Amino acid sequence: MNGPSAVRTKICGVTSVEAALACVALGADAVGVNLIPASPRHTSAETARAIALAVGARALVVAVVADMTVEAMRALQRSTGVGCLQLHGHEPPEAVAALLPHAYKAVRVATAADVACAEAMPGDYVLVDAKIEGLLGGTGHRVDSALVADLAKQRRVVLAGGLTPENVAQAVAAVRPYCVDVASGVEQSPGVKDLARVEAFLAAVRGVRGVTPT
Question: Which of the following is catalytic: 12, 23, 179, 181?
Answer: 12
3-state secondary structure of 141: coil
CA-to-CA distance for 5 and 212, rounded, in angstroms?
5
Bridge partners of residue 86, in order along the sequence: 64, 104
Contact 14, 23 (CB under 8 A): yes
Nearest C-alpha neighbor of 200 from the set 166, 172, 170, 149: 166
CA-to-CA distance for 69 and 191, rounded, in angstroms?
26
CA-to-CA distance for 69 and 155, rounded, in angstroms?
25
Determine whether 129 is an active site residue: yes
Q: Where are the beta strands (DSSP E) in 88-148?
A: 103-109, 125-130
Question: Which of the following is catalytic: 23, 29, 129, 179?
Answer: 129
Rounded to the nearest 5°, which phi and psi values hold at 14? -75, 145
Determine whether 117 is an active site residue: no
Contact 63, 80 (CB under 8 A): yes
The residues that are catalytic are 12, 129
